[in-house]
Amino acid sequence: MPALNLHHLRLFHAVAAEGTLTGAARRLNLAQSALSTQLKTLEATLGHDLFERRGRGLVLTEAGRIAFDHAETIFRTAEDLTATLRETGGSRRALRVGALATLSRNFQMQFIRPVIGKGDVEVHLRSGSQAELLRGLESLELDVVLTTHAPPRDDAIPWLVNRLADQPVSLIGTPRRVGSAGGDLAALLAEQPLVLPALDTALRASFDAFAAQLGVTPTVAAEADDMAMLRLLAREDLGLAVIPRIVVRDELAAGFLAEAAKLDRITETFFAVTVARRFPHPVLARILRDVSE
């Protein structure tokens, strides 16, 4: 297969962004015929049509969409390479943060708050499953992954697992429900319907073990693997939610929710996962250093 010409890829990217050959040619200060010829050369190299004509415009084909996504990654990586190796102080550095889809949004904001509004940092947030985020970290599409699950040790991939915090967990409900509930913790767990994390979460495993130690079989009103959904279910007064306080920090401060009891033996652990790099991301290194101090 012929080597990919990055100049042709840049021309393709410009056409895709403009949507017309005419507009792209004007922007690039090229003759439209020359631009068309070079696009055809790129399509021949890749073995697929990248555009289809619709009316007066051009629309990406499926192959074109894939090429466009890869082009964006290639050019972004090139910019990061220049910024990293030249250490250009005036350039903006992208910080690409992946977060488990079920992770507390409040915790995510707490992590990135030190760089929010900084003129030299551009934050990109992406959510997903643990597996796809770790793949993104391995391929250097992400700089860090925020999660509640430390990845297992892998000899092939040197994960660096930074333990950020152990957040306290409480029974949280509406002020009406909390005010009417009485008794000790065991009575609360036995008498009140509960909104619980999903069965396959570490937090649920910790809670189930705790309830078993108390000899309590709770009544489950709802389960969810998403912290935001647990918060909403608690606000809808389905029951008392087993949830880290940080998730409902704003609701507690505003009085929409109240704490019925602390679950002192249960915490939710948050991790920042990275990989060993010869050129560590300077912004990320600063955040992790500050968190550990």
| Position 154 pLDDT exceeds 90 | no
pLDDT value at position 119?
73
Predicted confidence (pLDDT) per residue in 243-266, tens digit: 999 999 999 999 999 999 999 889
Average of per-residue pLDDT across 22-44 = 91
Count Cβ atoms below 10 Å from residue 60 Cβ, excluding itself: 19
Distance CA 266, CA 194 (A): 16
Answer left, alpha or beta for residue 140, where phi above 0 means left and psi between -120 and 50 means alpha: left
> Could you tell me which residue, 235 or 81, shows the higher pLDDT?
235
Average of per-residue pLDDT across 17-42 = 90
Tell me phi and psi for residue 46, to 5 degrees: -85, -20
- Band (pLDDT 50/70/90 cuts) for residue 15 is very high
Element (H, E) at 293: none
AA identity, residue 60? L
Average of per-residue pLDDT across 126-153 = 89
Distance CA 147, CA 111 (A): 12
* Residue whose structure tokens are 């705790």: 210
pLDDT value at position 222?
96
pLDDT value at position 77?
74
Distance CA 132, CA 48 (A): 27
Count Cβ atoms below 10 Å from residue 82 Cβ, excluding itself: 12
The least confident of 75-79, 143-147, 268-272 is 75-79
| Position 293 pLDDT exceeds 80 | no
Average of per-residue pLDDT across 137-141 = 83
Distance CA 97, CA 195 (A): 29
Torsion 235-208-105-178 (CA) sign: positive
Element (H, E) at 230: helix 227-235
What Å distances lie between residue 207 and 184, 216, 218, 264, CA to CA?
17, 11, 10, 11
* Residue whose structure tokens are 């009544």: 219
Average of per-residue pLDDT across 78-89 = 63
pLDDT value at position 214?
92
Distance CA 174, CA 168 (A): 19
Torsion 178-222-134-120 (CA) sign: negative
pLDDT value at position 57?
84
Distance CA 288, CA 24 (A): 43
The DSSP line for 86-133 is HT-TTSPEEEEEEEETTS-HHHHHHHHGGGTT-TTEEEEEEEE-HHHH
Calculated CA dihedral for residues 157, 146, 113, 265, nearest 10 degrees: -130
Per-chain mean pLDDT for the chain: 87
- Band (pLDDT 50/70/90 cuts) for residue 242 is very high
Strands (E), the chain: 51-54, 57-60, 93-100, 121-128, 144-147, 159-173, 193-197, 219-224, 240-244, 258-275
